[in-house]
A = this chain, B = another copy of it.
Amino acid sequence: MSYRSAGVDIDAAEHAKNLMTVAVRRTHGPAVLAGIGAFGGAFALGATLQKMTDPVLVASTDGVGTKTMVATAVGRFDTVGQDLVNHCINDVLVQGARPLFFMDYFAAAQLDPLMVERVVSGVATACEAAGCALLGGETAEMPGIYMPQAFDLAGTLVGVVDRAQLITGAAIRSGDVVLGLPSNGLHTNGYSLARKICEPIGYAATPPELGGVSLGDALLEVHRSYLPQLDTLWGAGLEIKGMAHLTGGGIINNLPRVLPEGLSATIHTGTWPVPPIFAFLLRSVQLDPIETYRTFNMGIGMALIVAPEKAAAARAAVEELVVIGEIAPGQGVTLV
């Protein structure tokens, strides 16, 4: 990775670069081959393959959308990188894969080395927590393409799963149980609407619903990675038949993506705690229930489908799992 100094004190820029290098290196296990040229990152598959019979790579590319604009408004840059990585981790988890390595792309009208360091170190923090190598990336300065002060952050995660463990949704049956893993806020979706509501008030505001927490803090809560929870469930040998990461389109649009033809999910709203930020946002804008559950995750970050006889064991293994619904004949998602 390289960046240009843009009128910033060179010692501070140098210091930022060193911090970033240290953060990135901390994500490098023995699979990352160093010193073989700087054109691409190299990841040796040897140790990974020893545990597998028919490995399948699962890749996800994502951005964090306009959550970056909240970060800019609040002036906090160490969280969006974590959002990005965790979003991608959840996207490969739903197919049964675990993360191997990540590549990031950061672009802005002007590169501020201190800001780049904060963002990339956030990427590295989440990679390190997931045992995932931050293998490489690209930073680009493009004044004619980006608005002044704006930046975009995208990335690609590559994970791996043994073919027999791929989660396809094919085993889902009527009567199966839908479990939910709680979100801690908007994760990375619904920010266009949230910004429209919050910008006029200001991100320092502390509406009563938030109990002293500012809008900025609530909106910048880091998108949760559900890798630890899935590690526990898989470690306990619990079969998960299907999973949906509730991103853009919410439970309404995402859960049907894993349901076999002829099956629907009935979701009992009110069976899980909804983070207070949603109460505030919904007080400020009129949305019908369908639109609400399509725009926001409404407190559930990931939905898991298990056989009914496995639900109790799953909840015993991961306490925060909530029963939120069940599978029935039909199509799509029905909110009750």
Identify the A interface with B (CB < 8 A).
33, 35-46, 49, 54-63, 65-66, 68-69, 91-92, 94-95, 97, 100-101, 103-105, 107, 135-138, 140, 142, 144-147, 150-152, 154-156, 158-159, 163, 166-169, 195, 242, 244-245, 257-258
Report the separation of the CA atoms of residues A166 and B41 in the bound assembly, to the nearest whole angstrom: 12
Q: Is the CB of B37 within 8 A of A60?
A: no
Cβ B42 vs Cβ A56 within 8 A? yes
Interface pair B97/A40, CB less than 8 Å apart: yes
Q: Would you call A136 and B103 a contact (CB within 8 A)?
A: no
- Given A37-B167, A40-B95, A142-B66, A154 contacting B105 (CB threshold 8 A): yes
Q: Can you pick out 12 interface pairs between chain A and chain B where the beta carbons lie within 8 Å of each other?
A: A38-B257, A39-B91, A40-B60, A42-B56, A57-B100, A59-B135, A60-B103, A65-B142, A138-B154, A144-B147, A145-B150, A146-B147
Name which of A68, A94, A135, A154 has the most chain B CB atoms within 10 A of its CB: A154
Contact of B142 with A61 in the complex, beta carbons under 8 Å = no
Q: How many subunits of this chain does the assembly comprise?
A: 2
CB-CB nearest in chain B for A103: B61
Q: Is B61 within 8 A of A42, CB to CB? A: no
Look across to chain B and name the residue whose beta carbon is closest to the beta carbon of A1: B61
A140 touches B65 (CB 8 A): yes
User: Would you give the shortest CB distance from A40 to chain B, in whole angstroms?
Assistant: 4
CA distance A44 to B53 in the complex (A): 11
C-alpha gap A163/B45 in the complex (Å)? 10
Say yes or no: B156 contacts A61, CB within 8 Å: yes
On whether the beta carbons of B56 and A45 are closer than 8 Å, the reply is yes
* A257: chain B residues within 8 A (beta carbon): 37-39
Instruction: List the B residue with the shortest CB-CB distance to A154.
Output: B105
- Chain B, Cβ-Cβ closest to A248: B2
Chain B nearest CB, measured from A224 CB (Å): 16
Which B-chain residue is minimally distant from A64 (CB atoms)?
B140
Chain B residue with Cβ nearest A245: B39
A178 → chain B closest CB, angstroms:
16
